[in-house]
Structure 1
Amino acid sequence: MKVGSALRAAVRGQMLAFTTLVCSITLSVFTVVSIALIPVGIGIVTTPFMVDALRKYATYRRQLAFRWGGVRIAQPYRPLPPDPRGGFAGHVERCSLLLKDPATWRDLLWLQVDMTAGCVTAILPPGLLAEGLFGYVLASGVWEPIYDADGTYWYAFIPVDSQTTAFLAAGLGTIWIAISLAFGPAMLRGHFLLTRAFLAPTPQMSLSQRVEQLTVTRHDALDTSAAELRRIERDLHDGAQARLVAMGMSLGTIEALIEKDPAKAKELLAAARADSAEALAELRDLVRGIHPPVLAERGLGDAVRALALRMPLPVEVEVELPGRAEEPVESAAYFAISEALTNAAKHSGAERVWLDVTYADGALRIAVTDNGRGGADIAAGSGLRGLERRLGAFDGVLAVNSPVGGPTMVTMEIPCALPVRADAASARKA
């Protein structure tokens, strides 16, 4: 297993070394030349394209760092306006925004490091392996024609001019191979750590991104709260309030008729009783829409099971939670699940839905999967956008995987802390 991982590190190091020499040098030269041509106008048009290409290349290298080395590298880029102006003015605006972003200049600095130190750290695993094998090649007799053509051949610090020194070269080659096999993956990871040092956001950039994110989520939370208040006001005005007003008018009429026409008064009294029952039911539904009693009393697991029973299509529910989250988190998760299930019932054409709620790595994870027609897209759906904003207030994330033809999987993750119950902890230990 170790030999296999070392050989993979050698092959990947060779690929990375080639990439750094070709792509990093090419992008560095063209991007710098494009920026230098901004004063004459040509660079205003070409620079956005070059910076976009540079960012795609840097993103690709971030993905390689995670897949090959397990090194996560966040993206530090500032968001760009969704609809920049067209024409030359649009190029000027986009070029200005890109050059004002500190991440652009860090990417350029990384290219210089990548084509030098990055190339060296990438080539070490395959280079040591190849150099070690060449030591054996020398010992097999190849040293003689080399010596006859050019004289003494220096293999590292060993002058190879006889079979004895060739065997010494083979011994040193064994050391190189051993180092490559033992430390090749670590050396490749060192390459990715060097990449992270230049491509990851600085603390100042992370703080700026965090402030921008909190500003957006604050506005979203205020908008959502205002929308909820308007909904409650509308539901009260159109539902329970109207019924209570009608009931009050009916009681006034009953008071006038109770002596003149007791039969009619009795009929109106029955209607008023029915109105009061319907108003009470509407108030209960309204309260359930604000914060379901089952959620407050029994937690998220039982609340989503009760929610699934009210869905117009079958919902299979799996909940594995070691405890209860804070009330705002539970409420956000409940209504996010409710909206996802409602979307699946209304728009997916599915016959069945699967709901999984788990907790791992400090986050509440929710997956809603249906066997519908697929094609769901966050950018195209206002419902999914609203769901994303609801989760964003808690630093949550939403991911949608919905190929045309289905199935559709909506995954939600909300960072939170869940106290572990004693029985769950003892079960894990057992």
Structure 2
Amino acid sequence: MNRALPDRLRQRLDALAPLWRDGLPAMARGLAVGLLAVTLNPVLFALSVVSLALIPAAGLGFAAFPIVTSVVRWRANLSRRLAARSGVPIPVPYRPVPARAVYGTWERFRQVVSDPATWLDFAWLVPGAIAGTVCGLLAACLPLYGVEGMLGIAILLSASIDWYGYGIFWPIDNPVEALLTIPMGVLFLVVGLAGARWLTWIEATFTSYFLRPTPSSVLAQQVRHLTVTRADAVDTQAAELRRIERDLHDGAQARLVSLSMNIGMAEELLRRDPEAAAALLAEARQSSGLALADLRGLVRGIHPPVLAERGLDGAVRALALTVPLHIAVDVDLPARPPAPIESAAYFAVAEALTNVAKHSGASTAWVRLTHHDGRLAIQIGDNGRGGANAEAGGGLRGIERRLAAFDGIMSVSSPPGGPTVVTMELPCALSSPRTSPSSGTA
């Protein structure tokens, strides 16, 4: 019996663990939401109204309104981040600002005014202040109110006035009534922590109705994205065609021309100098072998045969063997991706490993390929010096452009001193089953 009680108590505490784990962060978020709503929203609404009113008056609003809008967007982005933590992700809907549209210019004013998200933010300030204040502060105050009762503050206060006064829940006339505030405090704490998650979720959902992108803005973003990725795909294709043409001209074509000339000279020398003709034919045979090797290398650069034969798993392992580093390869793909996705992923891995070998100073690296939620995920890491940056151009920027043609994304984590981790994702559905092993070290 003595052991049963602690076991039961432990089970009860374990059952309450999710309440504390989720309720306390929700309570903190509610406090942040409530304080931001009650302090910043009214001020920003007033500043927005004043800056709009100043537009006819000497044109001061042309410069003031974009500045106020930038502060409003900063405030709205804070709410988006808090909403995402409450389980309601809200994409950022703002149109990109051209480089020439600096503050104080007509371009900046026109860009801000023509963006529908500007007016949705403005429309959200007052309702957001009300919803944030009510839901946020309620999510924070209910648990705190329960803590006050649990600590028996009402008992202490009542004891100083001869058990007569007002407790936290009702007027207290005697010690028995004061003691009842403790179980009431426990009840308020539990209900408050459980309700904090719902209150913050309700506030985040309400906020999303104003701050999420409109259908027209989503369509406009998709059009801009497709325009950029199409231009990148066209540029990449043109660069690839130029590379193929250059390789053919400088390699196989030159060798084939030399082969044709040697065969022609051998024909002329065949009767009067058979030995010289035989030497030319031997040279022609050697040139034909070199031309064939050039063509094979060119084909591998377009679509490696190992990729077609062994799939992405085997192709990445074969690729890792060509890099002068210890590379651990871990592939967990239940089936093969479509051929275009396989090719893009293969060349992205190849470019990333080339960067590792040339620039990282690493002694070891690793490659991991997985598929989940309809996305092919690729992670490439090394223990090098770090400092890699896709914004600087070069190989990583080329990878990003290659993936963008398939709606893929790439992120780089490379602090000074390392390690460097490049993460890529490509939306795809797997098709044919694989035949190669799933993990190992290259």
The Cα of 1:98 is off from its aligned counterpart by: 1.7
Where does residue 72 of structure 2 map in the other structure? Answer: 54
The Cα of 1:321 is off from its aligned counterpart by: 0.9
Where does residue 427 of structure 1 map in the other structure? Answer: none
- What is the CA–CA distance in structure 2 between the aligned matches of 1:386 and 1:375, rounded to whole Å? 17
Q: Residue 62 of structure 2: which of 40, 44, 58 is its match?
A: 44
The Cα of 1:201 is off from its aligned counterpart by: 1.2
Which residue identity does 2:35 align to in structure 1?
F
Where does residue 440 of structure 2 map in the other structure? Answer: none
Correspondence 1:84 to 2:100: yes
Where does residue 39 of structure 2 map in the other structure? Answer: 22
User: For the structure 1 residues 52 and 279, does the alpha-carbon distance in structure 2 shift closer, same or farther, using more than 3 Å as the test?
Assistant: same
Q: Which segment drifts farther, 316-325 or 402-411?
A: 402-411
- What is the CA–CA distance in structure 2 between the aligned matches of 1:49 and 1:127, rounded to whole Å? 35
Q: Which runs of 5+ in 1 are unaligned?
A: 425-430
Q: Residue 51 of structure 2: which of 17, 21, 34 is its match?
A: 34
- Secondary structure at the counterpart of residue 404 of structure 1: coil
Which residue identity does 1:179 align to in structure 2?
V
- What is the CA–CA distance in structure 2 between the aligned matches of 1:309 and 1:4, rounded to whole Å? 46
Q: Residue 116 of structure 1: which of 124, 130, 148 is its match?
A: 130
User: For the structure 1 residues 368 and 141, does the alpha-carbon distance in structure 2 shift closer, same or farther, using more than 3 Å as the test?
Assistant: closer
Residue pair 1:217, 1:393 contacting (<8 A) in 2 also: yes
Which residue identity does 2:343 align to in structure 1?
S
Where does residue 109 of structure 2 map in the other structure? Answer: 95
Correspondence 1:393 to 2:405: yes
The Cα of 1:354 is off from its aligned counterpart by: 1.6
Correspondence 1:64 to 2:82: yes
Post-superposition CA distance 1:48-67 (Å, at most 9, x none):
33322322332233222223
User: For the structure 1 residues 50 and 184, does the alpha-carbon distance in structure 2 shift closer, same or farther, using more than 3 Å as the test?
Assistant: same
Post-superposition CA distance 1:6-54 (Å, at most 9, x none):
3443333223211221232333333332333233333333333332232
- Secondary structure at the counterpart of residue 406 of structure 1: coil
- What is the CA–CA distance in structure 2 between the aligned matches of 1:229 and 1:347, rounded to whole Å? 27
Residue pair 1:143, 1:166 contacting (<8 A) in 2 also: no
Where does residue 266 of structure 1 map in the other structure? Answer: 278
Which residue identity does 1:103 align to in structure 2?
A
Where does residue 362 of structure 2 map in the other structure? Answer: 350
Correspondence 1:12 to 2:26: no
Post-superposition CA distance 1:361-382 (Å, at most 9, x none):
2111111112222222222113
User: For the structure 1 residues 175 and 87, does the alpha-carbon distance in structure 2 shift closer, same or farther, using more than 3 Å as the test?
Assistant: closer
Residue pair 1:139, 1:170 contacting (<8 A) in 2 also: no
Residue pair 2:409, 2:424 contacting (<8 A) in 1 also: yes
User: For the structure 1 residues 262 and 379, does the alpha-carbon distance in structure 2 shift closer, same or farther, using more than 3 Å as the test?
Assistant: same
Q: Report the count of equivalent residues.
A: 415
- What is the CA–CA distance in structure 2 between the aligned matches of 1:132 and 1:312, rounded to whole Å? 63
- What is the CA–CA distance in structure 1 between the aligned matches of 2:255 and 2:118, rounded to whole Å? 62
Q: Residue 302 of structure 2: which of 283, 290, 295 is its match?
A: 290
Correspondence 1:221 to 2:236: no
Q: Which runs of 5+ in 2 are unaligned?
A: 1-16, 437-442
Correspondence 1:104 to 2:104: no
Post-superposition CA distance 1:329-374 (Å, at most 9, x none):
1011111111111222222233332211111221111111122222
Which residue identity does 2:67 align to in structure 1?
F
Considering only aligned residues, what root-mean-square deviation do their CA atoms show, in Å? 3.0
Which residue identity does 1:74 align to in structure 2?
P
Post-superposition CA distance 1:312-331 (Å, at most 9, x none):
43332221111101011101
- What is the CA–CA distance in structure 2 between the aligned matches of 1:19 and 1:418, rounded to whole Å? 46
Residue pair 1:363, 1:417 contacting (<8 A) in 2 also: yes
- What is the CA–CA distance in structure 1 between the aligned matches of 2:416 and 2:21, rounded to whole Å? 39
Where does residue 405 of structure 1 map in the other structure? Answer: 417
- What is the CA–CA distance in structure 2 between the aligned matches of 1:203 and 1:241, rounded to whole Å? 53
User: For the structure 1 residues 21 and 295, does the alpha-carbon distance in structure 2 shift closer, same or farther, using more than 3 Å as the test?
Assistant: same
- Secondary structure at the counterpart of residue 391 of structure 2: coil
- What is the CA–CA distance in structure 1 between the aligned matches of 2:381 and 2:342, rounded to whole Å? 20
The Cα of 1:120 is off from its aligned counterpart by: 0.6
Where does residue 129 of structure 1 map in the other structure? Answer: 143
User: For the structure 1 residues 189 and 37, does the alpha-carbon distance in structure 2 shift closer, same or farther, using more than 3 Å as the test?
Assistant: same
- What is the CA–CA distance in structure 1 between the aligned matches of 2:89 and 2:240, rounded to whole Å? 38
User: For the structure 1 residues 236 and 190, does the alpha-carbon distance in structure 2 shift closer, same or farther, using more than 3 Å as the test?
Assistant: same
The Cα of 1:171 is off from its aligned counterpart by: 7.8
- What is the CA–CA distance in structure 1 between the aligned matches of 2:113 and 2:386, rounded to whole Å? 39
- What is the CA–CA distance in structure 2 between the aligned matches of 1:340 and 1:423, rounded to whole Å? 25
Q: Which segment drifts farther, 301-310 or 339-348?
A: 339-348
User: For the structure 1 residues 18 and 142, does the alpha-carbon distance in structure 2 shift closer, same or farther, using more than 3 Å as the test?
Assistant: farther
Post-superposition CA distance 1:264-287 (Å, at most 9, x none):
111111111111101000100110
Q: TM-score, normalised by structure 1?
A: 0.86
1:205-284 to 2 correspondences below 5 Å = 205-284=217-296
User: For the structure 1 residues 423 and 132, does the alpha-carbon distance in structure 2 shift closer, same or farther, using more than 3 Å as the test?
Assistant: farther
- What is the CA–CA distance in structure 2 between the aligned matches of 1:422 and 1:236, rounded to whole Å? 34
- What is the CA–CA distance in structure 1 between the aligned matches of 2:431 and 2:252, rounded to whole Å? 39
- What is the CA–CA distance in structure 2 between the aligned matches of 1:97 and 1:55, rounded to whole Å? 14
- What is the CA–CA distance in structure 2 between the aligned matches of 1:4 and 1:385, rounded to whole Å? 40
Which residue identity does 1:11 align to in structure 2?
A
User: For the structure 1 residues 242 and 57, does the alpha-carbon distance in structure 2 shift closer, same or farther, using more than 3 Å as the test?
Assistant: same
Correspondence 1:370 to 2:382: yes
Where does residue 325 of structure 1 map in the other structure? Answer: 337
Residue pair 1:66, 1:73 contacting (<8 A) in 2 also: yes
- Secondary structure at the counterpart of residue 415 of structure 2: coil
Q: Which segment drifts farther, 185-194 or 358-367?
A: 185-194
Q: Which segment drifts farther, 279-288 or 379-388?
A: 379-388
- Secondary structure at the counterpart of residue 356 of structure 2: helix
User: For the structure 1 residues 44 and 405, does the alpha-carbon distance in structure 2 shift closer, same or farther, using more than 3 Å as the test?
Assistant: farther
Where does residue 301 of structure 1 map in the other structure? Answer: 313
